[in-house]
Structure 1
């Protein structure tokens, strides 16, 4: 009986912490995009692209990182996968067939900012996981920061 009660209490504690962790990660993604926007406004698009591509620690941390995409879908800056820079992968879907990059671009054009959910390979563990990307359109680029949400 003690073990059952302890297990229930432990499960309740862990499950009650999950929304807080997701909220913290969401806040981290928003903060990262906001930091990129402030840098862009102060120093210009080319300077931001250079800093992101050079893996400036201001734009990459344990939770998320900033990427920069052109409105046509071309990846302009990516601090963790430089092979993506210069590529347009709008027609490549996520694990479920969703054209999430196109959705980001379409929503950025229509609303200016928002979130898009999809399923993507998490490089930290190699698993396909739920991911959400926060984005903001600034001029002719979209600033993005994604967070993994687990399976």
Structure 2
């Protein structure tokens, strides 16, 4: 194999790996993940959902697409990216524009039972402040949410 071909093959392999590691998720991906979690909750119960949603290698984590599960008063009961948040009341959390976005998520859950909330957050892949949109559904006494960077 000549050297130029080997270098091209290595570059293509690196691009393929990088693209998979930082996949761009969509609104459809976020809403599908939440619907999958709601179905899982109905089939397996609350305890199993919370355990699986908090498992960083579980069925509800795909790079920067993961579940956040809250009680109706804003306490985190499962988190696919940061298990240290479990048990924390995040209702006073603000985004980069000083917006209480968790309150907006909880309000949408209480009023419509489902919806979208937009806010600004730091993208863990790029470390840049970006627009993020989260889809949520109220299921029993939980608010199940997943978001994507726009």
Taking structure 2 as the reference length, the TM-score comes to 0.80
Give 1:55 deviation, angstroms: 2.5
Q: Does 1:42 find its partner at 2:43?
A: yes
Partner of 2:63: 62
Q: Does 1:88 find its partner at 2:119?
A: no
Unaligned 5+ residue runs, structure 2? 1-23
Give 1:54 deviation, angstroms: 2.1
- Contact 1:133–1:145, Cα closer than 8 Å, also in 2: yes
Give 1:145 deviation, angstroms: 0.3
Partner of 1:27: 28
Greater share of residues in helix: 1
Q: For residues 85 and 92 of structure 1, what CA distance do their matches in structure 2 show?
A: 14
Give 1:135 deviation, angstroms: 0.1
Partner of 2:126: 125
Partner of 1:13: none
Q: For residues 58 and 114 of structure 1, what CA distance do their matches in structure 2 show?
A: 22
Partner of 1:8: none
- Contact 1:121–1:129, Cα closer than 8 Å, also in 2: yes
Cα root mean square deviation, aligned: 1.6
Q: For residues 72 and 65 of structure 2, what CA distance do their matches in structure 1 show?
A: 22
Unaligned 5+ residue runs, structure 1? 1-21
Partner of 2:137: 136
Give the SS at the match of 1:32: helix
Q: For residues 124 and 96 of structure 2, what CA distance do their matches in structure 1 show?
A: 14
Give 1:69 deviation, angstroms: 0.7
Deviation per CA, 1:101-120: give whole Å up to 9, x if none.
00000110000000000001
- Contact 1:28–1:63, Cα closer than 8 Å, also in 2: no
Deviation per CA, 1:44-90: give whole Å up to 9, x if none.
11110011112343101135111211111001101111111111111
